[in-house]
Amino acid sequence: DIIPLLPQGLKTLVLDSATDEFVHFHTQGLKSPPLPESLRTLTYGYVFKGPYPAELPPRLECLTTPYYPMGPLPPLPSTLRKLFIVGEDTTDIPIGSLPPNLEVLEMQAPCSPHLPKRLPDSLRKLVLGGTYGFGLHQPWPRNLVYLDLGDKYNQVLPPKEHMPPHLMYLRLGKNY
């Protein structure tokens, strides 16, 4: 057994560009999951290039992807509450099954993946950054209060009676 480099009580881990090869080297021989189970927040730095672990920590609550794609995301734990998709090209990140307790989904990417046909009802904040131009499916998450459609969104919005009932913030981008 390889002794894990990271302490088992670790709650937050930020992996910047300088750490990508170092962490990749040290996580290859670790048993799954290679990251401490105590981890709640995992942020991949702007230019981190290492691969995703085969499994994410089972109690992870917040995940931020790197700018440069690292391949498909591993399965997202059911405890995940915040997902920030940041990147140059995220069209290959499958988000077809979002965790049922997800509250925040922000796609701060020039290219954003398709959203699943059904978003979790727990979702409170949805940001469609970059060039998101796909239609949005209904029904809306019943708890959605914040909706940012991004700069390039130009699809027809549903009639007001079909909009999220508790919506408090709506941003229509410059191309709407």
What is the average pLDDT value for the chain, to the nearest integer? 77
Q: Where are the alpha helices (DSSP H) in the chain?
A: 20-27
133, two tokens:
């131009």
Given a cut of 60, whether residue 27 has pLDDT beyond it is no
Distance CA 175, CA 45 (A): 30
The C-alpha atoms of residue 106 and residue 36 are separated, in whole angstroms, by: 25
Cα(41)–Cα(11) distance, rounded to whole angstroms? 6
In the block, tokens 């027809």 appear at: 156
pLDDT tens per residue across span 102-158: 999 998 766 666 777 788 999 999 988 766 666 676 678 889 999 988 777 777 777
* Residue among 38, 40, 74 at smallest CA distance from 60: 40
Please give the pLDDT value at position 3.
33
Cα–chain center distance at 5 = 26
pTM for the model: 0.83
